[in-house]
Amino acid sequence: MTLLDPQTWTGKLFIDGWTDGGGGTAASIEPATGETLGSYGVASVEDVRRAASRAADAQKEWAARRPEERAAVLRRAGDLFEQHAEEIQDWIVRESGGIPPKAGLETHVAASECFEAAGLPTHPAGDVLATNDDRWSFARRRPVGVVSVIAPFNFPLILSVRAVAPALALGNAVLLKPDPRTAVCGGVVVVRVFQEAGLPDGLLALLPGDGEIGAAVVEAPQVGVIAFTGSTAAGRKVGESASGLLKRAHLELGGNNALVVLPGTDVAKAASAGAFGAFLHQGQICMTAGRHIVHESLYEEYVAALAEKAQHLPVGDPKSGTVALGPMIDEKQLKRVDSIVQDAVQHGARLLAGGTNDGPFYQPTVLADVALDNPAWTEEIFGPVAPVVSFSTLDEAVELVDGTDYALSVGILGDVGEAMRLADRVTSGKVHINEQTVSDEAQAPFGGFKSSGNGSRIGGAQANLESFTEIQWLTMRPDVAPYPF
């Protein structure tokens, strides 16, 4: 069976079946070549309204299903991600510009997310409460109802499925709005998998579109929770809209993550970790190592080793299977990255590698001696750029790590005892000792603080239960209670 037969979905969106979109169609473009890969349906605001209404109706029956029935759908979905991994990975490589190992990671994690979510329907769903009255008292978790999932382009499959799968497992319906640049590998793939897994009609809608459609999936009256992954600027708008409507928004936003290299660390290993953390998927990852903070005793050796790595990493079309970096997602992002690099150099940073592009391919770039007030240090670049500064004391390292509006991920390389002392003092959603900053597992909580989001709302049973259910207080007596009226 071909999962992604174009005759099934070309020019269509998904609401209770494949259907024409009120917003017409749009092309899926390969960023490495500019080639058109296919077309998908674009949603209108009326499509969102129709999908939300249908989802609310379908959700009631779905929530009433036996837990084992919901779990079985999630297990089958995980199996399908594995069975069709090669076909799905080809789309990830071509549509998102990711290299094949990155595409393999996406299908592996997508399957893991489904398998992990399959345990949620039978997870304990509440507590028996102590009470001062003559009754039984319970706090039980109930499905939210309809959940909107808004996903980005960079890891389009993982960042869709990690919210879609647990939301469905817990008895909800889902409106999925993928980024238009990756609407097939971040949208069509998800719908086709759950279709084949036996998910009942109406429970999962695919609604590609621009910001107007994003606003519509937030504002739809049937929607109770929004799971958003994307830029901090867009996340603020989603959060503001949701709060005005008294809805919960789980926001996983940008990052300007620190990789700290402590004294005595093996420089060769540190440079390898730094290159992976900074350049994987062209640096287009919220967890990218965007700030390298290196002890002064290792600084010059580290920047030289990192530059050597950057100069020898092959860049090109990921379809070839022989490159470490593929294309930037589009020309707008490439120009933004280059502007930040050139500005840093003009203001005194040493350019040790990169700083140039060949068409959509930006060379991995190393910047030493970056000013702490320069955008290359203060902003999330979202490109293959590694700015490096030095520190002398642990107190200074803490100040450098925390001297940003973001707090998503920190990597610390070196002595474990010293690393733990640093980890205990910094603010970050996650800390990885003797690892770089990019890491994600289906069973682990994921999220950031400050401008990186509103905490760990995704990953692991506890976070998913809190994200996609509401707590209801339920009391019960053997007979009708007596009252003085």
Burial label for 435, CB within 10 Å (0-12, 13-18, 19+), is middle
Calculate ∠ Cα 368-325-277, nearest 5°: 50
Residue 114 falls in the annotated catalytic set: no
Burial label for 271, CB within 10 Å (0-12, 13-18, 19+), is buried
Burial label for 485, CB within 10 Å (0-12, 13-18, 19+), is exposed
β-strand partners of 358? 361
Which among 20, 19, 117, 16 is positioned nearest to 59, based on CA atoms?
16
CB 160 within 8 A of CB 186: yes
SS3 72: helix
What is the C-alpha separation between 319 and 90, in angstroms, rounded? 8
Residue type, 223: V
CB 393 within 8 A of CB 421: no
**What is the DSSP secondary structure assignment for residue 368, as one 8-state letter?**
E
C-alpha torsion angle, residues 43, 48, 54, 56 (rounded to 10): 140
Residue 113 falls in the annotated catalytic set: no
Which among 13, 283, 52 is positioned nearest to 149, based on CA atoms?
52
**What is the DSSP secondary structure assignment for residue 200, as one 8-state letter?**
P
Task: Tally Cβ neighbours within 10 Å of residue 418.
Answer: 18
Do strands 406-407 and 18-20 pair parallel, antiparallel, or not at all (unpaired)? unpaired
Residue type, 239: G
Q: Which one is catalytic: 286, 380, 418, 466?
A: 286
SS3 181: helix
- For 403, half-sphere exposure in the C-beta direction (CA atoms, 13 angstrom radius) is 16
Task: Tally Cβ neighbours within 10 Å of residue 221.
Answer: 12
Tokens of 425: 């003092």
The DSSP line for 143-178 is E-SEEEEE--SSSTTHHHHHHHHHHHHTT-EEEEE-
Q: Which one is catalytic: 30, 106, 252, 380?
A: 252
What is the C-alpha separation between 418 and 402, in angstroms, rounded? 17
The interaxial angle of helices 100-117 and 158-169, nearest 10 deg, is 10
- The single residue listed with the structure tokens 């929607």 is 223
Task: Tally Cβ neighbours within 10 Å of residue 356.
Answer: 12
CB 194 within 8 A of CB 222: no
Catalytic residues: 252, 286
